[in-house]
């Protein structure tokens, strides 16, 4: 029975990861109006005010889930309901399902606000692709498998001790504290053709990122204390600085993982 339970948790983590991949690929096509079943710029099906009300409710549901489930207190409660090794996968699965629901039930408002012609539109599409590339790359900077719950489930399956990533600076985390958020903001706004619906998505999502970063920063300061305070004083949050952001001269522990955009509490999954 124990073996079956461990296999079930591993399978659950794989399903959650699959939902994440599907939602990420759908998101890229959704905002680009290419290659996805639905689009942010599809034909209107109801009055603009009603469409925006539905869209606001969908985005609010995702924001509330993301904010509540990311808090340490909720994680402690959740580990009393689901196995600790499945806590991160549960977060990933619920967030991915809410994103997919947003894309499925999104109500377009296709009134065009501005449109850019080639060659500038090509440059904007390249910027759009760069934004999504940064998002994906950021998950590997912070340990892709751990960030999406696969490592926790795998270690549990192998009956191995799981040790959460610690704090260190590598790659873009030497230059900005939240590179994933920067990539998302770029992807939201890099649109050669901007409609009312797309603008609403970009403004609302960017506003949530700004609020979410404040919550995240508060948790990181509470969890890491003076170490993170020094890091935050030296490295900007989202917009890179032209000044040199050299790390402290003390050596980094061998194998130390990256500074994470996702803070995991002391009660770890």
Blockwise average pLDDT, block size 10, the chain, 269 residues: 83 97 97 95 94 98 93 90 94 97 97 94 97 94 91 91 77 88 97 97 96 87 84 87 53 32 36
Domain interval for residue 193 = 2-234
Whole-prediction pTM: 0.86
Domain count, the chain: 1
Q: Rounded CA gap, 113 and 65, in Å?
A: 31
Per-residue pLDDT at 85? 93
Domain presence at residue 63: yes
Residue 101, both tokens: 């629901």
Domain presence at residue 150: yes
Domain presence at residue 242: no
DSSP state of 71: S
Per-residue pLDDT at 216? 86
CA–CA distances in Å: residue 82 to residues 8, 9, 87, 91, 222: 12, 10, 7, 11, 26
Per-residue pLDDT at 261? 37
| Residue 39 CB neighbours (<10 A) | 21
**Neighbouring residues of 143: CB distance < 8 A, sequence distance ≥ 6:** 151, 165, 257, 258, 260
Sign of CA dihedral 212, 147, 84, 227: negative
Closest CA to 67 of 195, 219, 258: 219
The answer to whether the CB of 109 falls within 8 A of the CB of 197 is yes
- Torsion angles phi and psi, residue 241, rounded to 5: -105, 150
Q: Rounded CA gap, 128 and 135, in Å?
A: 11
Domain presence at residue 103: yes
Domain presence at residue 251: no
The per-residue DSSP string of 5-60 comes to HHHHHHHHHHHHHHHHHHHHHHHHHHHHTSSSSS-TT----S-HHHHHHHHHHHHH
């Amino acid at each position: 029975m124990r073996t079956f339970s461990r296999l079930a948790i591993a399978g659950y983590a794989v399903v959650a990861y699959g939902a994440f991949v599907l939602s990420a690929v759908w998101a890229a096509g959704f905002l680009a109006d290419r290659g996805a079943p639905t689009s942010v710029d599809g034909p209107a099906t109801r009055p603009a005010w009603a469409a925006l009300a539905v869209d606001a409710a969908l985005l609010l549901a995702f924001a509330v889930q993301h904010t509540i489930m990311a808090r340490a207190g909720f994680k402690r409660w959740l580990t009393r309901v689901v196995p600790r090794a499945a806590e991160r996968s549960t977060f990933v699965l619920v967030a991915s399902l809410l994103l997919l629901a947003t894309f499925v039930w999104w109500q377009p408002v296709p009134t065009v606000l501005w449109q850019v012609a080639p060659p500038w539109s090509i440059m904007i599409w390249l910027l759009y692709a760069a934004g999504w590339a940064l998002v994906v790359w950021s998950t590997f900077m912070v340990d892709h498998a751990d960030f999406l719950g696969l490592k926790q489930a795998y270690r549990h399956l192998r009956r191995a001790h799981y040790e959460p990533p610690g704090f260190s600076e590598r790659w873009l985390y030497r230059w900005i504290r939240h590179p994933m958020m920067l990539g998302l903001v770029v992807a939201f706004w890099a649109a050669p053709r901007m409609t009312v619906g797309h603008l609403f998505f970009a403004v609302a999502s960017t506003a949530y990122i700004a609020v979410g970063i404040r919550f995240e920063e508060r948790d990181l300061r509470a969890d890491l204390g003076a170490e993170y305070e020094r890091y935050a004083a030296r490295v900007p949050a989202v917009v890179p600085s032209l000044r040199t952001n050299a790390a402290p001269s003390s050596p980094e522990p061998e194998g130390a993982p990256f500074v994470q955009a996702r803070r995991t509490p002391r009660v770890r999954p």
